[in-house]
Amino acid sequence: MKKVTVFILSCLLTLLLIPAVFAAPANGEEQKVDVTEELITMAWLDRLKIESEDKAFRLKLGGTFSFDWGQINEDYRVASVYDSVQDHKQEVRFAKPLIDLKLYDDYDFRVQYEFVGKRGQFLDVWGRVKNIPYIGRLKIGNFKEPFSMTVLTGDTGGTMMEYPSSAVFAQSRNLGIQLSNTYLDGRINVAAGVFNKAGYLDDSFTTGQSGVDLTGRVGWRPYQEDEGRKLVHLGLGYSHQFLNGNNQLSSFSPKVGSNLSTIKLAGTGSMVADGQDLFNFELAGVWDQFWLMSELSTAYVDRKINKGAFFYGYHVDVGYILTGETKPFKSSNAVFGAIVPDKPFNPLNGGWGALEVALQYARTDLNDSSASIKGGVQDNIGVALNWFLNSHTRIAGNYIHAGVSDRENSSLTNGEMDIYQCRISFYF
């Protein structure tokens, strides 16, 4: 009954949002309506925007809404440990409304809330001061730590529907303060901050067991031409995380590439540690319709009693845009953005949107024999077909083959899964 209810709600919400497919102006031009004798203007481009005539005040309302469907098949080895999951599944993946406020050109504020599963949570709750001499930007609140190009790119610009397994080493959002700036005409990005390590924003205030993260990232484009249609990006991220021993355990357990499955093929188990050091190395590039994004992540866990443990993971994503567009690269924070079609979907005018094909290989090694930890080696191979109907609608199809080997800390030592899934997303 619950599955049927979720499926019906998903269909209804999809039908309600279908008009958004045709909401974008065909030429990408902003549409405006004066609402108070030209003192305040309402506009629509990528999201609803309300602004004063002198643009000193700008309020934007938007969000991301996604619905997933899929088929999950596992082999007999996985089925012998977990309940059989060979079934059609669907879910409202997330609904994340947001409010952006800009005051003059120097102050930004954002509030974003996520409705997902049985629990909602605040995602971004932050304020930022820009254009500070010699410093650049100061950001305070709850937001993503500056670590991992994949995680910072987020949902709309990502390759697959979910992060690669190697992203298990990356922190997401925490409460903190960050300084950031760009140099050499935007070719170098630097960001560093101090964060309170907690799973949810409210935990930062209610839990006395939170640790502290010192996290930074630097990115450099040694080659960049043709307004970003050709570039090479190199990046380095580092995070030292202070942990509170028995009160805050460390563990790594990646997803299989789908939120429709709760199965974890690999995992270290809980480790009592005083801290851990994370490194992330980035290599990315764009050459007209072709693009590449790859990362190597490492983690050293300083265990409290036993010998320290070392783990690593990497992923390589390559893609090609069949309709001729170039994958956008945002130089301000060195991440990829969602593809914007040259011809938004409108068959009456000959527009069919943008079509992207991509491949991903990810490997995460959670074995360290010297530390007596055998969490397994997980390999994922993924194929993605992404159809961008316009600047705020994406339909994604994924095939993922996930497998684990050489695991000894679980009754699942080896096993494989095949996942077929699709997603429709609306983002404003």
Q: Do 249 and 270 form a contact (C-beta atoms < 8 A)?
A: yes
What does R_g of the chain's alpha carbons equal in angstroms? 22
Long-range contacts: 12-21, Cβ < 8 Å, 24+?
13/65, 13/67, 13/92, 14/67, 14/424, 17/65, 17/426, 20/392, 20/393, 20/426, 20/428, 21/345, 21/389, 21/390, 21/393
pLDDT tens readout for residues 47-73: 678 888 888 888 999 999 999 999 999
Contact residues for 12 (Cβ-Cβ < 8 A; gap 6+):
none
Partners of 336 in the β-ladder:
329
**Alpha-carbon distance 224 to 19, whole Å?**
38
Domain ranges of the chain: 63-94+154-427
Say whether pLDDT at 24 is over 80.
no
**Alpha-carbon distance 78 to 305, whole Å?**
33
pLDDT tens readout for residues 145-184: 999 999 999 988 999 999 999 999 998 889 999 999 999 9
The token pair at 175 is 């409460």
Reported pTM = 0.86
Hey, what amino acid is at 291?
W
Q: Cα torsion for 329, 335, 338, 340, to the nearest 10°?
A: -20
**Alpha-carbon distance 272 to 369, whole Å?**
17
Mean pLDDT, rounded, for 96-111: 94
**Alpha-carbon distance 86 to 106, whole Å?**
53
**Alpha-carbon distance 159 to 317, whole Å?**
7
**Alpha-carbon distance 133 to 227, whole Å?**
27
The closest of 246, 187, 257, 247 to 222, measured between CA atoms, is 187
The closest of 409, 402, 404 to 375, measured between CA atoms, is 409
pLDDT confidence tier of residue 227, bands split at 50, 70 and 90:
confident
SS3 of residue 395 by DSSP? strand
Mean pLDDT, rounded, for 304-329: 94
Strands 393-407 and 373-390: antiparallel
Q: CATH number of the domain at 63-94+154-427, please?
A: 2.40.160.10
Say whether pLDDT at 252 is over 90.
yes
